[in-house]
Amino acid sequence: MSVDDLRELYQEVILDHNKNPRNYGELSDASYTADGNNPLCGDRLTVYLKLDDNELVNEVAFTGKGCAISIASASMMTTVVKGKTVKQVNDLFDKFHKLCTGESDEAELDEFEDEIAKLRVMSGVRQFPMRVKCATLSWHAVEAAINKKDTATTE
């Protein structure tokens, strides 16, 4: 895929997930929640998780306001963490963060090949370092929630 094709796909996916966010709304019976804040951009999100007895994410949702990248990334995050264990979510957080910052080694990403394929389009933010925090905010919040912390920040 050429750089121009990736850029176009990046824009299409961001616009789609921003206009039609998946899993947007509160989970009243959430097992864990965490608020995420990106003071640089003004993004504020809350992530809700419902885990089963085996610490598997049964339901995930988010609410909040933010830029298109932040909302799109949160929407995409909810689609890939559902059905994952707490350990898998932590691993995905680490791999997604590396993908966005350009620190990833393609071999590292193989474990979650399907999930990373869906998220790979977000790697375009690495060209705009100030936007990496927008893309990773929801991931910081989900990581905080599963580790029983109430808040997360990109700072």
SS3 assignment for 37-49: EECCCCEEEEEEE
| Model confidence, pTM | 0.90
**Cα–Cα dist 19/21, whole Å:** 6
Give how far Cα 8 sits from Cα of 3, 76, 112, 116, 128, Å.
9, 17, 24, 18, 15
Alpha carbon 1 to its chain's center: 23
The CATH number assigned to the domain with range 3-147 reads 3.90.1010.10
Half-sphere exposure of 84 (CA within 13 A, CB side): 23
What pLDDT, on the 0 to 100 scale, is given for residue 124? 82
Phi, psi of 31 (to 5 degrees): -70, -40
**Cα–Cα dist 123/119, whole Å:** 8
Q: What is the mean pLDDT of residues 121-143?
A: 91
Per-residue pLDDT band for 117 (boundaries 50, 70, 90) equals: confident
CA quadruple 78, 81, 83, 89: dihedral sign: negative
Chain segment 39-86, per-residue pLDDT in tens: 988 999 999 999 999 999 999 999 999 999 999 999 999 999 999 999
